[in-house]
Amino acid sequence: MKKTILIVDDEQFIRSAVASFLDARGFDVLQAPDAATAQIVFRSKRPDVVVCDFALPDGDALELLERFHSVDPECPVIVLTGHASVDLAVRAIQEGASHFLTKPVDLPALQTVIERVLANQILKRKETARRSGSTAGGRVNPFAGESPAIRALQTHVKRVLQSDSPILINGETGTGKGVLARWIHENGRRADGPMVDLNCAGLSREFLDTELFGHEKGAFTGAVASKQGLFEVAHGGTLFLDEIGDVDPQLQPKLLKVVEEKRFRRLGDVTDRVVDVRLVGATHRDLAAMSRSGEFRSDLFFRISTFPLTVPALRDRREDIPLLVSQMLDELARTMGRRTTPAVEPSALQVLRDYPWPGNVRELRNVLERAVLLMDGETVTPRDLVLQFDGAPATSPGVASSELNLTLEQLERLHIERVLADCQGRVDAAAVRLDVPRSSLYQKVKKYGITIPRG
């Protein structure tokens, strides 16, 4: 993505020279001759970097710094001056300037400084996105398999990858809509920007409003400080709204405005803020039917569904199950510290292929994780699979029904205790039985506070 630079200088010759130099090097350049114009341009265009002369006809760069950072606290401002002094430079940096350069400025040096602050800006925004609850996620391939359904999805995704238009991902719960959203971000034009996500399911209108758009200090009881919304955090990147169909109808007009006009207002603010964000929404609900019934705004539905994608249910791509099982077992073996990846009996694989998978890929992973914890040998058998058929658990006689109510950590602790008891407290023998390094077993024993029985 091209980055936008705002040049603020009352000398037209200098503005034009800097603008021409940066324009030839691939930047979008905006110009302002004074502080008043600069503030208008900054709010309306939201530049990535500001290059500002210190002395202006109606103010100075330090006054502008405060106003710029009230709109975008992370926008780098490079201050230029023809009358440099150490005190002035120190004061500018203390007030929030990214760099302080003297005139006449060396243009290649200015380009280097701009590229450096842009790189730092990307890192800061990614870190802010991480702290704001964005899922880290691994680099998972959402197109694993060779089924016609998954190949069709891959073809459709490639067509929209380099666009900035909104995307709506449809699919049942557990199909991997979030994984696909992250893949689109990491392989698209905005890969260098932040990826921010929020699950809208069950969130109140008030909470969702302040999460998405932020608020000003004093906007409501308890608002003791201003807060950035996720649209601001995601500036230059992607905002993923999972279960977008659950957004309160009263908030949908505000969401439509920011999608269409790239501008919004924080709660309690009177001025618009401009953002450059690609919106990716996901839902398991029929938004088209909801828009026809009035449950979801039709104008918002049509705007966010410019590029609709549908992630197929697992039962519609059964031929992909063997590959998915193999990949998931490899991952589980690594995370559990096993020396080898468990094999799968053909009969167990057939059970997995025949199962209807109401919970889709997410359910498959949970079933395999539980199977690896329950298995005694090196191979997953039908006895190790805990599945739901018609709402009733289908288990082997070797699995107590009470164990189905345990968490995975509780099951792991129970299994380790049983194996240690069966091995008369011999950790070496238990580690071999569990197929984990002895050090990993000791870590688990310490983690769960397990008492090793005496032989």
Residue bearing the bigger pLDDT, 119 or 166: 166
What is the average pLDDT across 196-202?
91
Model pLDDT, residue 88: 81
Helices (H), 161-286: 177-186, 205-213, 230-233, 252-261
Of 47-56, 204-213, 335-344, minimum mean pLDDT range:
335-344
Model pLDDT, residue 139: 53
With cut-offs at 50, 70 and 90, classify the pLDDT of residue 138: very low
Look at residue 135 and tell me whether its pLDDT is greater than 50. no
What is the average pLDDT across 27-33?
94
Buried/exposed 316-349: b ≥16 CB within 10 Å, e otherwise = ebeebbeebbebbbebbbeebebeebbebeeebb
Model pLDDT, residue 392: 42
**By C-alpha distance, which of 325, 432, 428 is closest to 385?**
325
**pTM of the full predicted structure?**
0.68
Distance CA 128, CA 230 (A): 10
Model pLDDT, residue 390: 45
Model pLDDT, residue 402: 45
With cut-offs at 50, 70 and 90, classify the pLDDT of residue 278: very high
Percent of the chain whose pLDDT exceeds 90:
49
Residue/partner pairs of 444-448 with CB below 8 Å, 24 or more apart: 444/412, 444/413, 444/416, 445/416, 445/420, 448/409, 448/412, 448/413, 448/416
Percent of the chain whose pLDDT exceeds 70:
91
Distance CA 334, CA 329 (A): 9
Look at residue 273 and tell me whether its pLDDT is greater than 80. yes
Distance of CA 63 to the CA centre of its chain: 35
With cut-offs at 50, 70 and 90, classify the pLDDT of residue 253: very high
Tens of pLDDT, residue by residue over 284-338, are: 999 999 999 999 999 999 999 989 999 999 999 999 999 999 999 998 888 887 7
Tokens matching residue 307: 């590029």
Model pLDDT, residue 389: 55
Distance of CA 153 to the CA centre of its chain: 21
Please give the mean pLDDT across all residues of the chain. Answer: 86
Residues facing 273 on adjacent strands: 264
HSE-CB at 362 with a 13 A cutoff on CA atoms is 11
Model pLDDT, residue 242: 95
Model pLDDT, residue 24: 93
Tens of pLDDT, residue by residue over 347-392, are: 999 999 988 898 899 999 999 998 988 887 789 988 888 886 544 4
Model pLDDT, residue 108: 92
Look at residue 192 and tell me whether its pLDDT is greater than 90. no
What is the average pLDDT across 16-32?
94
Tokens matching residue 438: 């002895």
Tens of pLDDT, residue by residue over 31-50, are: 999 999 999 999 888 899 99
Look at residue 197 and tell me whether its pLDDT is greater than 90. yes
**By C-alpha distance, which of 183, 268, 282 is closest to 229?**
268
Look at residue 403 and tell me whether its pLDDT is greater than 60. no
